[in-house]
Amino acid sequence: MNRIFIMFLSASLLLNTADVFAHNSSSRSSSSSSRGSSSSYSKPAPKPASKPASKPAPKKITTTKKPSTSSYAKVTSSPKEQKSKAAFQKSGKFNRALAKKNASAASKYGNKSAATNAYKQKLESQNKYTSSTPPSTRPTYIPNTFLVGGTSYSPIYGMHGGSYMYGYHDAFGMFHPIPRTAYIVDDYDMMSRGYGAWGANGQPIHTAPTNKFDVIILLIIFGSMVGVIVIIGIVHYASKKGA
Residue 154 has pLDDT above 80, yes or no: yes
**Cα distances (angstroms) measured from residue 68 to each of 72, 153, 185:** 10, 13, 26
Please, what's the b/e burial string for 191-230 (b: 16 or more CB within 10 A of its CB; e: otherwise)?
A: bbebbbbbeeeeebbeebeeeeeeeeeeeeeeeeeeeeee
Query: What digits encode the pLDDT tens for the residues 82-94?
Result: 666 666 555 555 5
Mean pLDDT of 14-33: 52
* Range from 23-37, 75-89, 168-182 carrying the lowest mean pLDDT: 23-37
129: nearest Cα among 169, 155, 99, 159: 159
- 37: β partners: none
- Residue 176's pLDDT band, with cuts at 50, 70 and 90, is very high
Mean pLDDT of 128-146: 94
Query: What digits encode the pLDDT tens for the residues 197-227?
Result: 888 888 888 654 445 556 677 788 888 888 8
pTM exceeds 0.75: no
